Structures are given as structure tokens and as C-alpha cells.
Amino acid sequence: MMSKLESKEDKMLEVQFVGDDDVLNHILDREGGAKIKKERAQLLVNTKKIIKKPEYDLEEDDQEVLKDQNYVEVLGRHVQESLKNGSATDGGNKVYSFQNRKHPEKMAKLASELAKTPRKSVSSNLKSDPEITIDIPQCSKGHSASDKVQLKNNDKSEFLSTAPRGLRKRLIVPRSHSDSESEYSASNSEDDEGVAQEYEEDTNEVILSEQIQAQNRVLSAPVCKETPSKKMKRDKTSDLVEEYFEAHSSSKVLTSDRTLQKLKRAKLDQQTLHNLLSKVSPSFSAELKQLNQQYEQLFHKWMLQLHLGFNIVLYGLGSKRDLLERFRTTVLQDCIHVVINGFFPGISVKSILNSITEEVLNHMGTFRSVVDQLDWIINKFKEESSLELFLLIHNLDSQMLRGDKSQQIIGQLSSLRNIYLIASIDHLNAPLMWDHAKQSLYNWLWYETTTYSHYTEETSYENSLLVKQSGSLPLSSLTHVLRSLTPNARGIFRLLIKYQLDNQDNPSYIGLSFQDFYQQCREAFLVNSDLTLRAQLTEFRDHKLIRTKKGTDGVEYLLIPVDNGTLTDFLEKEEEEF
């Protein structure tokens, strides 16, 4: 009875709260609805911009009107007069607007759009017109899908344009009018197999599925036409706040389930990456050179301002390392200076202070704390007014230096009259590191230096997402340690490695239990009692070669904390030696 009532209520509720969205989702699929919504959001932005334009022009006429009420806006928008101050032509509202729900396939769509529009982009025109938007992106969507199929299927580089003409036609024609997300809806719930399968299908099958979806289109097309006007109407009432909550209402994020493992070239190590990239010819080198030359003209001004008690911070896209390096070699040759690579993972304030006390000031003593050391340095610099020191910090906002304490200490150093600091920041939120007190310590002058140079050095240290750990370091340490051991010990370790490699495909593998291990070792005549094995394991553990873990059943499990690739390499090497 109760359950019935509840279910009734549920139904009631559902009936009550069906909105336009849900109706649409019911008829179309969810993505379709989201997509249209997205488009009208763009439209909204466009209209806003149109409204804003005249006001903006006015401002340019007056050059800089700084009225109180729109002061913040103006600040955000920056001045147009100078070329070099990175003012966004589109103001702050774009940068800080809320996110609305993104269509999962949007990226591919945009990619194909970008790929297709040769130089001038037509798509922005299209976007501004709601009527066309419905058709064209879908069209291009079709392209993208076919693109991808091509990419995957024939690696012989038969790309879109080189594909047989008839095939292309067949691919596009049924799609151009169909509901755009046909392909995606097929694998709607991120069905991994579906996607994978799709790529394995040959083109005939694709067409077949296309035809099936084309049947759907009869149903969905009229609805599709209807929606924009409806959406537009709703749009007027909804505002950014609603969009924000909409974007965050569902905890589930829709993305496809494809993984890198399915791609052949999954991860590259640092070296091959470097080699590959060296083959790429840099584009826009003339323009970049010009940019750099502009910045180089500022070197003397920087020196002047540094000497007058300001400190200089450089911001903007692109690595500023080369620029600072040139600054160093051209101007700082005759001064004592310290270069600090903030992006170096082992950097710390302590090491900075140490290099100042030990190498600059030739002090051999030790300090009880960082604060003591700082006090000592400050006193030293205050006493000897002839002493001058330049600090060049690349990436002041790096992971290691961005802490409050570190910033405080560097700030105190930089506030000294005869220490000159020139630093670069890259992170988007770097200025949040400094409160008013720190800012007044630093006494910054900001300079924008957008260089578009690649962050080669800066990213070479971090464990980047797609870069495979080369493992050369652990490998060499493994061989070194094992070489010092007895043959029996080596055998024990090799057993463990082999067991681990045999189980590498088992996701629930937690290690080899001690008892099993002992049994195996005995069988291989490597140990004669479990005490010997334990003694051996202690040695391994001291060298950090193995890790032990207590399982849920209280049994000890042994694991080598080195990745499998390295272990395979190690085994191969071992075999070569014997």
C-alpha cells in the first residue's frame, strides 16, 4: 500500500516537474538538448557583445574614462592604447563567466571546424545565426566523425580530402540532416565497447548504422526546428547563476571511456619526446623574434628600476626563462647574481638561503632555523652596504615556492635595499600568493612579457601526464644494489620480480605472500629456513627494494615498488650478463 502510494507520488512528481528540457530529452536525446542550449548560450554572449560594443568604442574615444562605478570593469578591460598589455578585447565577462554544461562531443566538433576552416573562420559567423547553427555544425560533426574513422582505420594517411569521393558523399549525405549526435547517442552511456567497436567497423557498417539513425531523423527533425525559439524565450529569464547550478547539478560528468592504452602511441619518455619535438619547425619565428626584441629593449630600464628599490615580476604566456637568461648574460655579467630555478622539484627556501650564505657570503656556519638564517643574511646585507646581489627566480609561483612561509621569506629578502629581485610567474592564479603585506614587501613592478616560447625546461622535471617515466634512475640503482649481493639473494629477488611480472595484468594483485614466497625459494634451493629469508628481506627493505604490506587476512605481502617496464628491462639485462 505504502509503496504503491509512494510510487504514485513519484509519478505525480514526475508529471509535475517535466520541463521543456525533459520533454526534449525524451524526444531527442539528452545531448541534443544540451547542445542546443549551448548554442543559445553562445548566442547570448554574442548579443551581449553587440550591446557592449558601442559603449566600448566610446571608451576608446575618451581613451580612459575612469568613473567610479565602472572602474572595476575598466580595470579588467585594461587600456587599449598600448599594444603590449594583453588586454582582453572581450573583457572580463568572458574570462570569469560561469561554465555551462558542455557537450561531450563538442571538442571533436570544434576540432573539425578548426581543421576545416582554412584561415578565416567561417564558423563564428555561423554561430551568430541560430538558424544556420543547427545545420552546419551537424554537418561538420559528420565530417569529424568520418574524419576520425578515417584516422583510425587507415593509418595510410587517407584523410578526409583524399578519401574516395563516393564514400565521403555517402558518409555525409545521410548525416547532414540527421540529428547531430547520432554517433554519440549510439554510445551514449559511454559504452566503451560501442566506441571501440565503432572504430573497428569497416565503412560499410558505418553507413549501415548511419541509415538506421537516419530513420530516427524523421522523428527528431521537426522537434529540432522548433527548439531554438523555445529556448530563446526561456533564455531571457535564466541567468548565469542558473547555468552555474545546472552545470553542477549532476555529479556525473559525461566523457567517453576511451583510454590511452588502446592507442598505439600511449606514452613517450622524455628523451623520445624531446627528439620528436626537435623535428618540429617553429612557426611565427619572425614575430616571436620581434616580440623578444621589444622586451630586450627594456633591460636597461629594468636595471634602473631595480636599483631604485623596485622589484620586477614578469608575467604572460610563454617561458620567460630564455628572456631572463639573456638579461643575465647581457646586463648582469659583472654583478653577483643567483639564478634560482623555481620549477626544479627539489628547490626550497632553505636551499636558496644556503646558497646565499655559503656561496655568496662565504659563511661556513650552520643555522638553527630558516628564520635565523634570514636574520643573519639581513644583518649582513645591512652592514655591508657595498654588497649587491641579484636574485633571478624562474617561476616564483612553482609548487615548491608558493607556500606562504617561502613567499614571506623571499619577500623579506627582496625588500632589502641591496638585494634586487627579478622573477617570473606563470600560473594562472599566481597573484593570489601575495596579500597586501607581501606585496608591499616585494614592491613589484609588473611587466608583461608574452613570449609564446615553450616551457621546455620547466616541464621537463614534472611528472607530466603523458610522459612515461623513463625509469633509468631506478634501473641503475637496482643493478648496483643487486650486484653487491650474494647470488642466492639475487635469485630471491629475481623470483619476486618474475612473480610480479606474471601478475602484472591482475588488477587486484597486492603482492606475494611471505609463505608462498618462502615455499618458492625453498623449491629453488635458495634458502633453507624462513629466518634466512627474513634476514634477506630485511636487507632488501633497507635498500628500499621491496615494500611489505599487511593484507586483510593479516598475512604479509611483498611488493617491489618499481614499475613493470623497469623490471622487465632489469631482467633482460640480467640475462644478458649471465
Scanning residues 190 to 249, which ones bind another protein (CB under 8 A)? 247
Q: What share of the chain is helix, strand, coil (3-state, %, to 5)?
A: 60, 5, 35
* Contact partners, residue 247, CB within 8 Å, separation at least 6: 98, 99, 100, 101
Q: Pick the closest to residue 395 from 430, 440, 419 (CA basis).
A: 430
Residues from 49 through 88 that contact another protein (CB under 8 A): 49, 63-64, 66, 68, 71-72, 75-76, 78-79, 81-82, 84-88
Least gap, CB of 335 to another protein (angstroms)? 7
Please, which residue, 89 or 515, has the CB nearer to another protein?
89
Q: Which residues pair with 195 in a beta bridge?
A: none
CA distances from 516 to 20, 249, 455, 490 (A): 63, 50, 49, 18
Q: How many residues bind another protein (CB under 8 A)?
A: 160
On whether the CB atoms of residues 258 and 459 are closer than 8 A, the answer is no
Least gap, CB of 441 to another protein (angstroms)? 9
Which cell numbers in the block locate residue 264?
598505439
Stretch that binds another protein, among 12-20, 223-231, 437-445, 550-558 (CB under 8 A): 437-445
Amino acid at position 206, single letter: V
CA distances from 338 to 156, 421, 461 (A): 52, 10, 20
Does position 3 bind another protein by CB under 8 A?
Answer: no
Please, which residue, 23 or 360, has the CB nearer to another protein?
360
Other Cβ atoms closer than 10 A to 122: 12
Least gap, CB of 58 to another protein (angstroms)? 16
Please, which residue, 15 or 253, has the CB nearer to another protein?
253
User: In this chain, which of 139, 221, 445, 481 binds another protein, going by CB under 8 A?
Assistant: 445
- What are the counts of helices (DSSP H) followed by strands (DSSP E) for the chain? 27, 10
- CA–CA distance, 21 with 33 (Å, rounded to integer): 7
Sign, CA dihedral 84-87-90-94, equals: positive
Please, which residue, 18 or 58, has the CB nearer to another protein?
58
On whether the CB atoms of residues 451 and 282 are closer than 8 A, the answer is no
Least gap, CB of 133 to another protein (angstroms)? 13
User: In this chain, which of 431, 509, 565, 574 binds another protein, going by CB under 8 A?
Assistant: 431
Which H or E element spans position 55? helix 30-61
Please, which residue, 134 or 425, has the CB nearer to another protein?
425
User: In this chain, which of 428, 507, 508, 578 binds another protein, going by CB under 8 A?
Assistant: 428
- CA–CA distance, 491 with 482 (Å, rounded to integer): 10
Residues from 241 through 300 that contact another protein (CB under 8 A): 247, 253-263, 265, 268, 272-273, 276-277, 279-280, 283-284, 287-288, 291, 297-300
Residues from 385 through 404 that contact another protein (CB under 8 A): 386, 388
Please, which residue, 12 or 446, has the CB nearer to another protein?
446
Q: Pick the closest to residue 70 from 82, 84, 59, 61 (CA basis).
A: 59
Residues from 124 through 153 that contact another protein (CB under 8 A): 124-125, 127, 144, 147-148, 151
Residues from 346 through 385 that contact another protein (CB under 8 A): 346-347, 351-352, 354-356, 359-360
User: In this chain, which of 70, 153, 203, 305 binds another protein, going by CB under 8 A?
Assistant: 305
Please, which residue, 68 or 505, has the CB nearer to another protein?
68
Least gap, CB of 259 to another protein (angstroms)? 5
User: In this chain, which of 111, 370, 501, 555 binds another protein, going by CB under 8 A?
Assistant: 111
Please, which residue, 217 or 468, has the CB nearer to another protein?
468
Question: To 5 degrees, how large is the angle CA 269–CA 275–CA 281?
Answer: 135
- CA–CA distance, 548 with 559 (Å, rounded to integer): 6
Does position 308 bind another protein by CB under 8 A?
Answer: yes
Does position 556 bind another protein by CB under 8 A?
Answer: no
User: In this chain, which of 100, 203, 238, 479 binds another protein, going by CB under 8 A?
Assistant: 100
User: In this chain, which of 8, 11, 26, 94 binds another protein, going by CB under 8 A?
Assistant: 94
194, with CB counted inside 10 A (0-12, 13-18, 19+), is middle
